[in-house]
Structure 1
Amino acid sequence: MSVFEVFASLVERLADLVQPLFHGSAAAAAIVLFTMLVRLAVHPLSRQAARGQQARAKLQPQLAELRKKHRKDPERLRKAVAELHAAEKVSPFSGCLPSLLQLPAFFLLYQLFSDSGFGGGHTTLLDHTLLSAPLRGRWADALGHGGLIGGQGLVYLALFVFVAGVAAFNYRRTKRQLATQPLVPADQQEGVPGLEAMTKLMPLMSFGTLITVAVVPLAAALYVVTSTTWSALERAYLYRETHGGTPPAAPLATGA
């Protein structure tokens, strides 16, 4: 069996499991459930990343001293920072792992429900819908079948409204984060090209999820919506539990 067949079989079994509750939208519900299981599996890494963020925040005074001490020797500064991170067992890349580990699941969903079909074959999942919107369809297809407020269009409209609400929440959180934890330390901001523009643009990237939902198959859009919502709630929880400050910004492309 190919990886697509194994993946399709898993989603089909989940759909059979929830079919008594969701009937014709069972496959859509199975995708949401599958996404939640993926996020639950990587949650320990998210907790670890949150602790790493807290540890890195505590190192800022020491990093500022190192930058001051080695401001004329970039190579020595790089080594000193690496040594400090190693001594404190802090990885500057730990926050990337949860997002990277979710990419295969998103890729499989995208390929499974894309126009190329089931790895060149067919699966009954391609015939499933969310209400009246096919899981293999896109927003452009919905607009061609009843327009913006047609049966399919209303499904996407509801998704857009929901995603916009989550994006607004992430936007406000990222603005607060940048106010307390700027992209570049205050003592290094002078002369950094484009820093002000990037600081203004970064919170707005939360709304990039709207574009993703509009262009990918509905099944993949459900993954993005579920994962983005999970990320927002997870970070709010981890912020309350471990940070006592502003939580880290959410990944954007897949809601990770």
Structure 2
Amino acid sequence: MLAFAPLHTAASVAATVVTWLADTLAPLTGGAATAAAIVLFTIGVRLMLSPLTLAQVRGERRRAALAPEIRDLSQRYADDPARLQSELVALYRRAGASPVAGCLPALLQAPFFLVMYRLFATGDGLDDAGSPGLLHERLAGVPLGWHLGDGLSGPVLAVFGLLLAALLALAWWSSRRARRAAAATGTPTEGPAAALGRLVPLLPYTSVLVALVVPLAAVLYLVTTTGWTALEQAVLRRPQPAGIDER
């Protein structure tokens, strides 16, 4: 376990919120209160991060709109890298865009995901919050700290099977969407860019692989956050009508 004080403190705060949610939901959800709290807490954090996601999407669209001009400049000044760089900087300045506009929001989101994964994968911070431990709670009779490799039984197969099937379906949908996006933007067929283009559609399936080795609490988090990401993809990255300039 990482002994990093700020991360542990953040996980403790998150644990307090999850514990409060579980206590609040207990009259309605009974033994599934902690599992429901994980889902609601994850959705709440993703909602809080929505402005960053929106800024990321806007940055990506601005860069995509400049792609034809960037290709033209790259061909025109292929033999003059210094001139090419200055022309690209001028182009981004005129358009009010930035080559890293889509990257910064993603980087700002990373600490939140690290805290949530640490909490749901290890239960770190729960004991400090006065809880008996998130990973000792159960969902359909299966402890939230149970790994798929700890042993298979009827309830374990049912719970993990359902969640893994949901993750696999979300990964397939995301991969299919990534392939369509690559085809629409004309991904190169040779070179490093082509190799990256073939790799990107496979990345969504990493969540399924991770779910095979983390406890049930973390699998619940993965399903919820992956489902939210898919929803954002469908809503925020849908094709825009021609002529719309998104600011």
Into which bin does the TM-score normalised by the smaller protein fall?
A: 0.7 to 0.9
The answer for the alignment partner of 1:174 in structure 2 is 178
Matches within 5 A, 1:1-256: 2-114=9-121, 117-118=124-125, 123-124=131-132, 125-141=134-150, 144-146=151-153, 150-183=154-187, 193-240=191-238, 243-244=240-241
Give the number of equivalent residue pairs.
233
User: Matched residues in 2 for 1:120 and 1:78: separation?
Assistant: 53
Of 226-235 and 82-91, deviating more is 82-91
Which amino acid in 2 is paired with 1:112?
L
Asked if structure 1 preserves the Cα contact closer than 8 Å seen for 2:178 and 2:201, the reply is yes
Q: How many Å apart are 1:243 and its aligned residue?
A: 2.7
Q: TM-score, normalised by structure 1?
A: 0.79
Give the equivalent residue in structure 1 for 2:5: none
Q: Is the 8 A contact 2:146 2:216 kept in 1?
A: yes
Q: Does the C-alpha gap of structure 1 residues 113 and 89 become closer, same or farther in structure 2, counting only changes over 3 Å? A: same
Offset at residue 132 of structure 1 (A): 2.1
Could you tell which deviates more after superposition, 122-131 or 15-24? 122-131
Identity of aligned residues (%): 37
Deviation of the 1:30 alpha carbon: 0.8
Structure 2 unaligned segments of length 5 or more: list them: 1-7, 243-247
Measured after TM superposition, the shift of residue 89 of structure 1 is 2.0
Q: CA deviation at 1:228?
A: 1.1
Query: Which residue in the other structure is 1:250 paired with?
Result: none
TM-score normalized by structure 2?
0.82
1:251 aligned residue? none
Equivalent-residue separation in structure 1 for 2:123 and 2:67 (angstroms): 49
Structure 1 residues 137 and 83, CA, compared in 2 at 3 Å: closer, same or farther?
farther
Give 1:116 deviation, angstroms.
8.0
